[in-house]
Chains A and B, each alone.
Chain A
Amino acid sequence: MTVILEAEGVSKIYGKGENSILAVDDVSLSVRRNEMLLIMGPSGSGKTTLLSIMGCILHPTSGEVRIEGKAVTGLHEDALPDIRKQYFGFVFQAFNLFPSLRAVENVELVLRLKKTDKTGIRAEALELLKKVGLGKRSHFYPADMSGGEKQRVAFARALAGDPPIIMADEPTANLDSRTGQDVLKLLRDMSEESHKGIVIVSHDPKAEALAHRVVFLEDGRIRS
Chain B
Amino acid sequence: MLSQKAKIMKRLKLLALAITLLIISIIMIYPLSWTLITAFKTNRELFLDPWGLPSNPTFENFIKAVDRGNMGQAMINSLIVSLSSIFIISIIAPMAAYATSRIDFKFKGAVTNLLIAGFFIAPHAVLVPLLILLRDMGLVDTLLGLILSHVGWHLPFAILFMKAFFVSIPSSLQDSARVDGLSYYSMYRKIMLPLALPTILTVAIIMFISVWNNFLFAFIFLRSPSNFTVPINLLNFTTGRYGNDYVAQSAAVLISAIPTIVLYLLFAERIRKGVAFMAFGR
A binds B: no
Name B residues whose Cβ lies closer than 8 Å to a Cβ of A.
Answer: none
